[in-house]
Amino acid sequence: MQTFRFNISVLVAMVLLAGFSPAGAEEKGAMKKILVLTFSEGFKHSSLGLCEETLAKMGKESGVFEADCMNLWKLKPEEIDLSFLTGEKLAQYDAVFFYTTTAKDGKDIDLLTPEQREAFLDYIKSGKGAFIGAHAASDTFYKWPEFGDIVGAYFVSHPWGANDAAVTIKVDDKNHPATRMLGDSWTIQDEIYQFKAPYSREKLRVLLSLDTTKTDMNKKNLQYGPTGDYGVAWCHEYGKGRCFFTSLGHREDVWTNPVFQAHLLGGIKWALGLED
């Protein structure tokens, strides 16, 4: 029965992915532009290249957006140079996508100047652009609390490893574009994070969370205990800017999963203001 539900989810996701044609996008206006950032000062995920490839393909095939992938994941930590990330650069895009990590040595904030950080905050807060984050975006800029507010949480650890048994994810909000294709639940194998502040349901519209009744909760150092709240994906507004985050995306096969792609595309459409 579980396999049947998964196949139905895949079918629905493929239909949704195919349903937005480039021709339709042209009729509604020019494609949106998304700046894709994948620099890794901390842990470098093997799926980063596939992330960029998937976003570029998804954007083109859906007709929704053009992904400007800068291949920053190829850089060594000491080679990372974000001096290009200015207000003028951001103004060229409708959204910025983060799948990144920074070091936990307290110096991660130095990757951007105070002026760059202020320009980034204004870009989101004023509604000039949107923020979209995947997986390790929450493992980024720990010494920049406003960035944590934009993401919605900071990474603590991953009690459920990428090679552990599949987990069951509860769909908390079935009406969001990022979740409409999922039904009541979603079973997936991926690395599952637990988060710390500023994570709060009072601040966020939580879309997905771990179903603790159907997932192995016999893990060490659980942040909120075996019956706690472990958010997986959410959205919110930072000022006038829309912010969408999904913590999934560690494994390479997640990025090629049509259900995940439909989930992500729905989140992107919401962030860009194309769907509610």
Q: Assign residue 40 the CATH number of its domain.
A: 3.40.50.880
Q: Give this prediction's pTM.
A: 0.90
209 inside domain: yes
97 inside domain: yes
What local confidence, expressed as pLDDT, does residue 228 receive?
Answer: 93
Helix (H, G, I), strand (E, B) or coil at 253: helix
76 inside domain: yes
Q: What H or E segment, with its residue span, contains residue 166?
A: none
Parallel, antiparallel, or unpaired for β 130-134 and 95-98? parallel
Q: Distances in Å between the alpha carbon of 227 and those of 69, 109, 161?
A: 39, 35, 19
Count CA atoms closer than 13 A to 77's CA, side-chain side.
Answer: 12
What local confidence, expressed as pLDDT, does residue 29 receive?
Answer: 67
Rounded CA separation 48/51 (Å):
5
220 inside domain: yes
Total domains in the fold of the chain:
1
Q: In sequence order, what E strands does the chain have?
A: 32-37, 65-69, 95-98, 130-134, 154-160, 167-171, 185-188, 192-196, 205-210, 231-238, 241-246
Residue with tokens 């079973």: 187
Mean pLDDT per 10-residue interval, the chain, length 276 residues:
41 46 51 97 94 98 97 95 98 98 84 97 99 98 97 96 94 98 96 96 98 93 92 99 98 97 98 97
Spacing of C-alpha 15 from chain mean position: 22
| Neighbouring residues of 115: CB distance < 8 A, sequence distance ≥ 6 | 86
Spacing of C-alpha 113 from chain mean position: 24
276 inside domain: no
Joined tokens for residue 110: 């130095």
Helix (H, G, I), strand (E, B) or coil at 36: strand
Structural domain including 175 reads 2-271
Q: Distances in Å between the alpha carbon of 179 and those of 14, 76, 143, 155, 266?
A: 14, 36, 32, 22, 7
Dihedral, CA of residue 150, residue 154, residue 160 and residue 161, to nearest 10: 90
91 inside domain: yes
What local confidence, expressed as pLDDT, does residue 18 receive?
Answer: 46
What local confidence, expressed as pLDDT, does residue 258 receive?
Answer: 97
Q: CB count, 10 Å around CB of 120?
A: 22
255 inside domain: yes
